[in-house]
Structures are given as structure tokens and as C-alpha cells.
Amino acid sequence: MRIAVCVKQVPAREWQPRLDEVAGTWIREQDTSFQMNESDGYALEAALRLRETHGGEVLVCSAGPARVVQVLREALARGADRAIHVEHDRLAAADAFVVAAALADALRSEGVDLVLTGLQSDDQGFAQTGVVLAERLGLPHATIVTEIRVAADGLRVKRELEGGWFQWVNLPLPALLAMQTGIDQLRYATLRGIMAAKKKEIRKVTPAAVEHPRQRILALNVPVKTRQTQMLSGSPVAAAKELVRRLREHALVTS
């Protein structure tokens, strides 16, 4: 089975966002540390486990500027066989339509049996790239997938629904699946894997043209704290009376 996994490089979750003061529509990338998108890591883990069970090849693909090579190297160190880097600076903050178009052009000639993506990205969170990519490639797809079973006539996948419900769906191959987070225990890159990744192929693809975006970010704002902690002084009795007064007058607590 030939499996392609689409991964995205996103700002690290522990990083404090700093906005670009000039345009105000994106972050200051020079001050940012990056990592693999969380749900894409679970998609990669699912692909590696399918290869271990059924054989084949795992190809990772990512779209973005030169820095994206870092996340591709990490995927190769975890066990992927080779990688494709769709390199263009405009793909760093592009919308789902633009990114899906670039990925589709890179994957169309690979002849893969299965494409895996994460459910959504940690930075923009549109949850649309995988869906649009499936349409671009003409593949049946399923989202919020938590389990994959290979059958004689294709795939049987488990989807997570609202309210604790689940749904089983049968799909023919080739297909595309958008994977949910937390479905497996992620593996980490070993020293042996890191050394092996240096010898694995990363094919660079420059898109002939980057599509015009369907969506545009007008402005970004860092959340402003609107509530502050207030300390009540005095004796315990006085502090308790003051707390009750504030609860009644400000929090509108009646009982």
C-alpha cells in the first residue's frame, strides 16, 4: 500500500504569538519556533502502522517556504520513506484552497492508494484542506477518522460524531482520510531514525503558479485580558462580607 501523508509546519503551541507590526495580518515568523501540526502527527502514525501491517511505502508531503524542510526531516526520522516539499513563500499562510491545490499537483502523479491528513491545523483551524484536496484529486473521503481497517474491497473506517456517537463507513481505494488526534500513541524519532533521515529523499517541487486565495485575513489581534484578580484585605469576617457584597452586586448571585 502506497500512502501519502500531508503534514503542516505550525507555530509551537508553547510559543507566545507576536504579530507582524507592519501588515498586522500574520505572525512575526523570525521570532517563532515551529513544530509539526498535532493532528498531522497522528495521521503519520496511522500511516506507519498501516505500512507495518500491510507493507508498502509512506510518502510525506508539505507545502510552504524553505523552513518546512524541518518538519519533513522529522517525519522521515519517525519512519517515513521519502518526502515531497512544495516550496513557495506564499504557501506559509495560504488558505485551504490554495494549499490543497498545491498539494494535489504534487501528489497527482504519485499513484498513491491512500492519502492521510490531519483533521485541522493548529494555527488556522479551517479543517478544510483535506476535504478540498480529496475533491481536487477526485477521491472519496472521510473526516474525523479514529480507526482504519483494511478490507478486501477497500477500507472500513470509524468516524467520531457528536455526543459520543461513532459511525463506520466503507470506502473504496484510493481514498483520503482526515485523522482525529489522540487515536494512537505517537512514536518519537530515535537517533538511528535521525541519522537515516539524512539519507532519505526530499524532492523539491516548485509550483508553476499559486492560485489566487479565496479567503483573506484582514487583521489579527492578540487576546486582551479583561478580568483581573482582586485581593480582599482585612479580617476573615470583613473579607467574607465584602465577598458576599461583590457577588451580589457584580456577579448577580442571589442565593
Residue 60 sits in a domain whose CATH number is 3.40.50.620
In a domain, 241, yes or no: no
3-class DSSP string for 77-121:
HHCCCEEEEEECHHHCCCCHHHHHHHHHHHHCCCCCCEEEEECCC
In a domain, 245, yes or no: no
134: left (phi over 0), alpha (psi -120 to 50) or beta: alpha
In a domain, 26, yes or no: yes
Residue 178 has, within 13 A of its CA and on its CB side, a CA count of 19
What's the total number of domains in the chain? 1
d(CA 230, CA 247): 13
Spatial neighbors of 46 by CB under 8 A, at least 6 apart, are 116, 148, 179, 183, 184
pLDDT per residue of the chain (255 residues) written in tens, 0 to 9: 999 999 999 988 888 777 777 777 787 877 788 999 999 999 999 999 999 999 999 999 999 999 999 999 999 999 999 999 999 998 888 889 999 999 999 999 999 999 999 999 988 888 999 999 999 999 999 999 999 999 989 999 999 998 889 999 999 999 999 999 988 889 989 999 999 999 999 999 988 788 888 888 888 887 777 777 778 888 999 889 888 888 888 776 776
In a domain, 242, yes or no: no
Grid cell digits, residue 99: 494549499
d(CA 152, CA 148): 13
**pLDDT for res 214:** 84
In a domain, 47, yes or no: yes
Pairing relationship of beta strands 202-205 and 57-64 according to DSSP bridges: unpaired
d(CA 75, CA 59): 9
In a domain, 86, yes or no: yes
Judge residue 53's burial from the number of C-beta atoms within 10 Å of its C-beta, 0-12 exposed, 13-18 middle, 19 or more buried: exposed
In a domain, 252, yes or no: no
**pLDDT for res 250:** 76
Spatial neighbors of 193 by CB under 8 A, at least 6 apart, are 76, 77, 78, 79
Q: Residue 149 pairs with which residues in a beta bridge?
A: 156
In a domain, 214, yes or no: no
- Domain extent, residue 197, equals 2-205
pTM of this structure? 0.83
